[in-house]
């Protein structure tokens, strides 16, 4: 499969990352199928795409109409139908290896023989996911960042068995989306970006858990002193506090108490209306 053979892209998962990736692929002109396990999840993801496209249109960041982009996106809850004619599949399910291996087993059964099977995992082993298939050379990591429509970088990760052809096609596919790919040649936990990002989000969470700083102070320090677009807590609210929690858990790293508490209380960030900040009242992360 070369990049010019790719027409039909399937995204498995309609959450924050899944719907964002589906949106980006549709904006680049691909025929997209977005699938999730329940109809209301698919509908929420589709509504989020529509909201995002309207925002982009308002700001003149869309080359065509919202309707033209939406017309390229089909939705379904049926995995077999979603992947039956896919050239490129991107799995964007929650960060649990058992779940992902189940999906890759299904992909092996139902996706066309030459399809490329990619995972948007943040940090889990591509090599291990690929063992659920009989074609590990066609399995590759393709890690987008949140929100995919605004974030330029995408990691293209080699599993131990990933062929150069597969990785190169994935790399060129990312370029065709108008984004900047980087290869990650070692399938290490966290790849490159989350390994570097780990201390940026982890250390402040320990500092606040230990009562040594407040959330707003830590965020303000990184934004005003270091020039980051968001502080670590606001970023955790954007990506989902549970996502960071599972990344740490899967890596066997200790979880800061403040993070543990938020997950226990189901206060996971923007998607639940409350996280380290409260978004219900429209205030959000105000540390100016």
Residues at the site binding ligand 3HC, with contacts judged by CB under 6 A? 52, 55-56, 122, 145-147, 149-151, 194, 229-230, 235, 239, 243
Q: Which of 194, 234, 246, 267 is catalytic?
A: 194
| CA 117/CA 136 separation, integer angstroms | 9
Nearer to ligand 3HC, 66 or 107 (CB): 66
Contact 126, 185 (CB under 8 A): no
Output the smallest distance, CB 16 to ligand 3HC, in A.
Answer: 9
What would you report as the CA-atom Rg of the chain, rounded to the nearest whole angstrom? 19
User: Minimum CB separation from ligand 3HC for residue 134, in Å?
Assistant: 28
Helix 39-58 with 16-27: angle, nearest 10 deg = 50
Sheet of strand 88-91: strand arrangement: 73-76, 31-35, 8-12, 88-91, 116-119, 139-143, 153-158, 180-184
Rounded least distance, CB 135 to ligand 3HC, Å = 25
Burial class (CB in 10 A: 0-12, 13-18, 19+), 225: exposed
User: Which listed residue (8, 52, 119, 122) is catalytic?
Assistant: 122
Q: Minimum distance from CB of 239 to ligand 3HC (Å)? A: 4
Please provide the size of the chain in residues: 288
User: Is the Cβ of residue 10 or residue 123 nearer to ligand 3HC in the bound state?
Assistant: 123
Query: Which of 115, 125, 122, 110 shows the shortest CA–CA distance to 161?
Result: 125
Catalytic residue among 155, 234, 250, 267: 155
In the complex, least distance from residue 95 CB atom to ligand 3HC, rounded to whole angstroms: 8
Token output for 125: 């082993």
Specify whether 224 is catalytic: no
Q: Which of 204, 173, 215, 167 is nearest to 187 (CA)?
A: 167
Based on CB atoms, which residue is closest to ligand 3HC, 42 or 53?
Answer: 53
Residue closer to ligand 3HC, measured from CB, 162 or 194: 194
* Rounded least distance, CB 123 to ligand 3HC, Å: 7
* Nearest to ligand 3HC of 83, 244 (CB atom): 244
- For residues 6 and 18, which CB has a smaller minimum distance to ligand 3HC in the complex? 18
For residue 122, indicate whether it is catalytic.
Answer: yes
Residue showing the smallest CB distance to ligand 3HC in the complex: 122
Is 155 one of the annotated active-site residues of the chain? yes
* Positions marked catalytic: 122, 143, 155, 194
């Amino acid at each position: 499969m070369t990049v010019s053979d790719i027409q039909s892209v399937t995204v498995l998962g309609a959450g924050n990352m899944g719907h964002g990736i589906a949106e980006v692929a549709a904006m680049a002109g691909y025929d997209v199928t977005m699938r999730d396990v329940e109809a209301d999840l698919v509908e929420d993801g589709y509504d989020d795409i529509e909201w995002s496209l309207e925002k982009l249109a308002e700001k003149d960041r869309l080359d065509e109409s919202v309707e033209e982009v939406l017309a390229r996106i089909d939705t379904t809850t049926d995995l077999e139908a979603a992947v039956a004619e896919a050239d490129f599949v991107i799995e964007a399910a929650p960060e649990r290896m058992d779940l992902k291996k189940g999906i890759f087993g299904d992909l092996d059964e139902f996706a066309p023989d030459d399809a490329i099977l990619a995972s948007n995992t943040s940090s889990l082993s591509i090599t291990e996911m690929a063992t659920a298939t009989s074609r590990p050379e066609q399995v590759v990591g393709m890690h987008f960042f949140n929100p995919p429509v605004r974030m330029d970088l995408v990691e293209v990760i080699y599993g131990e068995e990933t062929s150069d052809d597969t990785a190169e096609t994935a790399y060129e596919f990312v370029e065709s989306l108008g984004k900047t790919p980087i290869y990650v040649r070692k399938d290490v936990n966290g790849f490159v970006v989350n390994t570097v990002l780990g201390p940026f989000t982890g250390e402040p969470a320990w500092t606040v858990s230990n009562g040594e700083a407040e959330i707003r102070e830590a965020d303000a320090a990184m934004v005003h002193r270091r020039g980051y677009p968001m502080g670590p807590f606001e970023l955790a609210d954007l990506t989902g506090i549970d996502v960071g929690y599972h990344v740490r858990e899967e890596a066997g790293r200790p979880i800061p108490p403040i993070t543990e508490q938020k997950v226990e209380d189901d206060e996971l960030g923007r998607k639940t209306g409350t996280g380290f900040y409260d978004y219900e009242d429209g205030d959000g992360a105000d540390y100016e």
